[in-house]
Amino acid sequence: MKKILVIHGPNLNLLGEREPGVYGNDSYESINNEIIEHAIKYQFHCDVFQSNHEGEIIDQLHLARKKYDGVVLNAGAYTHYSYAIRDAIAAIRIPVIEVHLSNIHSRDEFRHTSVIAPVCAGQISGFGKFSYLMGVDALNYIWNSGESGEDND
């Protein structure tokens, strides 16, 4: 059984009450339940982690390299400037799928840049909570297509 870890970055614990016009009305808890249900369809074991702190996200990525087969990561605003998270992703060999609820390319200029995109297996952006589900789909795709997802340097 494949084990996957979903990592939510800063402010995503407030989903449902945070800027609902941008991020939707579904609560953080209900979105996580939907992700886990979706992962079960593929018979993936799925754990969820959230932190508002850069170093804790890096620690989880390091732990994930031994405990999980793949990661779905919404790094929140760290996406746009955290070279430390970028380096952590590059350091591990399991595939990391970058996801965003909103379409970062259609928003503020500073959101158009993802410093983590070059080291992720791919990016899914703009489909609300479905971006996370598609992140799970992407891991399934990688494993079924024989892509290693490791070619991220």
Which residues are the active-site residues? 23, 100
Q: Binding pattern to ligand DQA, positions 7-26, x when CB under 6 A?
A: ----x---------------
Residue 149, sorted as left (phi over 0), alpha (psi -120 to 50) or beta, turns out to be left
Stretch that binds ligand DQA, among 42-50, 85-93, 98-106, 133-141 (CB under 6 A): 98-106
Using CB under 6 A, count the residues that bind ligand DQA.
Answer: 10
Give all strands (DSSP E) within the chain, no chain letters.
3-8, 45-50, 70-74, 96-100, 122-125
> Which range, of 30-38, 63-71, 95-103, 143-151, touches ligand DQA by CB under 6 A?
95-103
* Smallest gap from residue 145 Cβ to ligand DQA (A): 26
Residue whose entry in the numeric block shows the structure tokens 């959101």: 111
Could you give the angle at the alpha carbon of 35 between the alpha carbons of 20 and 115, nearest 5°?
70
Give min distance, CB of 131 to ligand DQA, in A: 7
Question: Which pair of tokens denotes residue 35?
Answer: 């992700």
Contact between 104 and ligand DQA by CB under 6 A: the answer reads: yes
Report residue 20 CA to chain centroid gap: 20
Closest residue by Cα to residue 61 from 82, 41, 40, 35: 82
Residue 101 binding ligand DQA, by CB under 6 A: yes
**Residue 100 interacting with ligand DQA (CB under 6 A):** yes
Helix (H) / strand (E) element for 108: namely: none
140 binds ligand DQA (CB under 6 A): no
Count Cβ atoms below 10 Å from residue 20 Cβ, excluding itself: 11
Rounded to a whole number of angstroms, the minimum distance from the CB of residue 111 to ligand DQA is 4
Q: Which residues bind ligand DQA (CB under 6 A)?
A: 11, 74, 76-77, 79, 100-102, 104, 111
